[in-house]
């Protein structure tokens, strides 16, 4: 009797990923390049730093200075010299393309901090939390988001802020169409269930931002989008690379088989 063992299809199991919550960046990585998503889960911090780039370093150092500022009570309670000192300690110009970019971005960072300190953000509000990590469960998956600072506004509402240093920050319309901002709002509502919550995208370059509240219908649509991607990730058996322009700045490029 012929051996038909070769006719039996091989059962391929989904990759056993660590059981941890998804971030909006994880979902975006998977959409852009499944291999980037997979490798990014396992890339250590020291490898990530190598491909950080000047603009990303600028944002990282700005955020550290501003988190420190609000941890001490906000701009009204902190001398601007301390902001500059924390920024300088966090700044690493070696990731910049050249010395000109390093000098330009460092000077921009100090100016953005001076402008922020002189502005109105946080001066009439109470700081509730800084660098707050939050989780929410949607569609059987856990998602995580982080607020740079959470403020109790004068009207009694709770406002979660994120600082952006990008040259072209998202518009108000972009925020309401963004899975990341929707997850941020969902996490805020989970963290502060009895409060009137909002989320604010604050552009450091423009000295202002967009404050948003999502309706239940808007939040449900964004949640469905996020859970669909999470569903695909959890059952995926392959994570193929998709080489493109983004490879140059990929956090996981040193391990990518497509760039070997």
Q: What is the 3-state secondary structure (H, E, C) of 78-125?
A: CCHHHHHHHHHHHCCHHHCCCHHHHHHHHHHHHHHHHHHHHCCCCCCC
User: Mapping DSSP to helix (H, G, I), strand (E, B) and coil, where does residue 258 land?
Assistant: helix
**Nearest partner of 186 among 152, 139, 229, judged by Cα:** 139
Apex CA 110: angle with CA 154 and CA 81, to 5°?
A: 70
Tell me which DSSP letter residue 19 carries: S
Per-residue confidence in pLDDT tens, the chain, 260 aa: 555 555 545 556 777 777 889 999 999 999 888 898 888 877 666 555 555 789 999 999 999 999 999 999 999 999 999 999 999 999 999 989 899 999 999 999 999 999 999 988 767 889 999 999 999 999 999 999 999 999 999 999 999 999 999 988 888 888 988 899 999 999 999 999 999 999 999 999 999 889 999 999 999 999 999 999 999 998 888 888 888 888 877 777 777 888 76
């Amino acid at each position: 009797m012929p051996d038909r063992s070769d006719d039996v299809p091989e059962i391929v199991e989904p990759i056993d990923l660590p059981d941890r919550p998804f971030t909006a960046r994880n979902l975006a990585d998977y959409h852009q390049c499944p291999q980037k998503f997979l490798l990014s889960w396992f890339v250590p911090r020291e490898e990530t730093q190598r491909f950080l780039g000047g603009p990303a370093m600028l944002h990282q150092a700005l955020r550290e200075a501003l988190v420190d500022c609000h941890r001490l009570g906000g701009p009204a309670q902190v001398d601007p010299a301390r902001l500059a000192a924390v920024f300088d300690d966090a700044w690493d110009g070696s990731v910049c393309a050249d010395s000109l970019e390093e000098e330009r971005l460092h000077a921009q960072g100090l100016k953005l901090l001076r402008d922020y300190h002189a502005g109105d953000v946080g001066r009439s509000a109470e700081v509730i939390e800084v660098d707050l990590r939050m989780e929410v469960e949607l569609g059987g998956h856990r998602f995580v988001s982080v607020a740079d600072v959470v403020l109790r506004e004068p009207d009694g509402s709770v406002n979660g802020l994120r600082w952006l240093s990008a040259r072209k920050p998202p518009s108000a319309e972009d925020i309401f169409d963004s899975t990341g901002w929707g997850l941020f709002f969902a996490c805020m509502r989970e963290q502060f269930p009895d409060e009137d919550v909002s989320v604010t995208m604050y552009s450091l370059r423009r000295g202002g931002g967009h404050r948003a509240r999502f309706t239940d219908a808007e939040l449900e649509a964004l949640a469905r989008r996020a859970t669909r991607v999470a569903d695909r990730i959890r059952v995926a058996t392959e994570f193929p690379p998709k080489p493109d322009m983004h490879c140059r700045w990929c956090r996981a490029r040193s391990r990518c088989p497509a760039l070997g």
